[in-house]
Chains A and B, each alone.
Chain A
C-alpha cells in the first residue's frame, strides 16, 4: 500500500517546464501512457526509440518496464500502453 501511495504522489508531481515540451501523438491510450510511463522517465524516450520497434518489441519493452524496472502498471493499462506504442511509434 505504501508503495502504491508513494507512486501516486510521484505521478502527481508536475513535469518540469522543459519536459512538458515533449508532445506525443494524440491517440487512444495516450492518457495511460502519461499516467504511467512518466512516473519514472520523461516521454521523449518513446519517440527516440521509434519507429523501428515491431509489435513484439514494444510488447517486450512494456513487459521489461514492469518486470525488470518494477513499474506498478495494471494489466489493462499495460495493454493500452502497448497498443498505443504499436499504433503510433511502431514499424
Chain B
C-alpha cells in the first residue's frame, strides 16, 4: 500500500518505475503522469490519465464519454486559465461540432413578446462587454467528500478563470420583448443525450440574474474564439454562479412565466435548504427541503506546493488563488503552524470581483514538518469552513486546505 504522501513525493520516480515494470503497485494514472488530488476515491487511480482532447493540452481524463477532464494543479499558478488547459465537463455524450456560419440562437418563450433568432454575426454586432470570471463546476472537489458520493470524482481542477467577451443577455432579452411576468430564463445547448429517453440538459436562472449586467452570451474567451470543448461558438456566462448554468453551444433561450421543470433542475444540482451561507437564492425553484445551487462559496487553493512537498528550511514563498461568488476577496489568511496563528497573505492583481485573486505568503519554514493552512475571506465576511458541510451531491466543498511541507 502506498501512502498518499509517499505517492505525491515520488510521483515522477514512480512513473519511471511503473513504465519499466519494476513496481507494479504504481497505478496507470501515475504512469501517464496524472497527479491526483489526495483524498479522491482510490478507483480514480485506475482510470485517470493525462490525455489531450483535440485542441487541448493533456488534462486529467476522468471519463472519455461524455468527456470530463480536469486541469492539473499547476494550471492555477496564473490567475487566467489558458484556453487549452481549461477543464472540460459534459453530461451528455452527443456533442456536435457547431458551425458558426449556420449557428442560430432561438430566443422566445411565453415570457417574451417578440421571439427572435440570432445568428453568430447578430450576436457580435451587439454592444460587447468583457468580464473576467471563474467558471467552476458545482461538483468541483466532489472526490474529496467524506463519505464519498457518486458522480464525476473531481479533485481541485474542475474550474478555470477566463476573460469572457460577449453580448449582455439582457440586451438579447430586450430584443425579444422580455415581459415583466417572466420569472426565469432557460437555456438549451446543441449537445444532447445518447438515447432519446435521457433528459436533455436544460437549465434556467432567475430573471433577475439573467438581466444582471454581468451575465453575458460569450463568444470570446481570453481573446480567442471559445474552444469547441468549452462551448463554441457561444455559451452563457453567469459570473459568480457555478458552471451548471453556463450553457455551452447555446441554441435556445426562453423567457418563462412558470418554473423550468426537468431532471437537471430537480432533483439534480440541488443543495439542502439552509445548509450553506448563500445570499443569492433561486426562490422560484425552492421547495421545502432543497434549493438549486447558486453562487460559489468563498474558497482558495494553494498552487505553489503539493501536499507532502520537500522544501528547504528558511525563507519560502507559498502562493495560490482565492475566489468567491462575486463579492470579492477581502483577505487571505495563512497559518504555518497548523492553525494556531494566522497572518494575512499579500493579495495580487485584482482582475475583478468574479476572478481568481492571486495571493502569496512569505513563510519561514522550520526543519521538519510545516503544516500550512489557508482561509480566504470575502467582502461579505464569509470564510472557508474547517469541517466539510456534507451534502448528497458533494457540492460547495470549501474546507480549508491543510498541507504538509517537509523541510
Contact = CB atoms under 8 A, between A and B. Distances in A.
Interface of A: 3, 6-7, 10, 16, 18-19, 22, 39-42, 44-45, 47-53, 57, 61, 68-72, 89
Given A48-B62, A51-B43, A3 B150 contact: no
B349 interface: no
B148 A18 contact: no
B63 A42 contact: yes
Contacts of B62: 44, 48
A44 B47 contact: yes
A66 to B, nearest CB: 10
B198 interface: yes
A49 B41 contact: yes
B44 A40 contact: no
Contacts of A68: 199, 263, 267
Interface stretch (B101-109, B188-196, B367-375): B188-196
Given A51-B41, A52-B148, A53-B150, A39 B194 contact: yes
B330 interface: no
B152 interface: yes
Contacts of A57: 150
Interface of B: 41-44, 46-48, 51, 61-66, 93, 147-148, 150-153, 193-199, 263, 267
Contact of B65 (A41, A48, A69, A70): A41
B150 A70 contact: no
Contact of B195 (A6, A19, A42, A53): A6
Nearest to B143: A48
A35 B150 CA distance: 22
A53 B41 CA distance: 10
Nearest to A41: B65
B202 to A, nearest CB: 15
Given A7-B195, A47-B47, A16 B65 contact: yes
B46 A47 contact: yes
Chain B, interface SS category? loop
Contacts of A50: 41-43
Contacts of A53: 150
**Sorted from nearest, which 4 A-B pairs have the closest CB atoms?**
A70-B197, A50-B43, A44-B47, A42-B64
Nearest to A10: B194
A69 B198 contact: yes
Nearest to B145: A52
A49 B44 CA distance: 7
B193 A40 contact: yes
Nearest to A18: B64
A45 B46 CA distance: 11
A6 B192 CA distance: 15
A64 to B, nearest CB: 9
A22 B51 CA distance: 13
B196 A6 contact: yes
B369 to A, nearest CB: 29
B64 A22 contact: yes
Contacts of B147: 52
A53 B148 CA distance: 8
9 contacts: A40-B194, A48-B152, A49-B153, A51-B42, A53-B150, A61-B150, A68-B199, A70-B196, A72-B197
Nearest to B51: A18
Given A22-B47, A40-B93, A40-B198, A52 B64 contact: no
Contacts of A41: 63, 65-66, 93, 194
B174 to A, nearest CB: 37
Contacts of B198: 40, 69-71
B42 to A, nearest CB: 7
A44 B48 CA distance: 9
A44 B152 CA distance: 10
B199 A48 contact: no
Given A19-B64, A42-B63, A42-B64, A3 B47 contact: no
A69 B267 CA distance: 12
Nearest to B65: A42
Contacts of B51: 18
A10 B51 CA distance: 25
Contact of B43 (A3, A6, A42, A49): A49
B195 A47 contact: no
B93 A48 contact: no
A39 B150 contact: no
B88 to A, nearest CB: 14
